[in-house]
Amino acid sequence: MSDDNETYTPINCDLHSQYELAIMHHTPLQVAWRDATGMQHVCTLLPLDLQTAHGEEFLLGQDHSGQSVRLRLDRISSARPTTMVPK
């Protein structure tokens, strides 16, 4: 379940497809998102998979330090391909 009481809002199918393509082509993304507290974050990550749990969808990835990242899709404000590859 979500880490807060905010209702999940499904994302556009085209955007979902863009995440799938980035995963399939191992394309690093520069991603901006807000966490459950509303704090903004930006990082480059290697997208690895999409996950659905309890009616919410998540992007799973790895940041530049090798740490796992799990972002709820409706909290991502932008994700653009980048050439900077996480370690």
pLDDT at position 80: 95
The reply to whether 4 falls in a domain is no
Instruction: Return the CATH number at 42.
Output: 2.30.30.100
Number of neighbouring beta carbons within 10 Å of residue 80: 12
The predicted model gives 53-73 an average pLDDT of 95
Q: Does the pLDDT of residue 21 top 80, yes or no? A: yes
The reply to whether 77 falls in a domain is yes
Which residues span the domain enclosing 53? 13-81
Q: pTM here?
A: 0.87
Sequence-distant (≥ 6) Cβ neighbours of residue 14 within 8 angstroms: none
How far apart CA 44 and CA 29 sit, in angstroms, is: 5
Q: What percent of the chain has pLDDT over 90?
A: 85
The predicted model gives 52-65 an average pLDDT of 95
pLDDT at position 1: 39
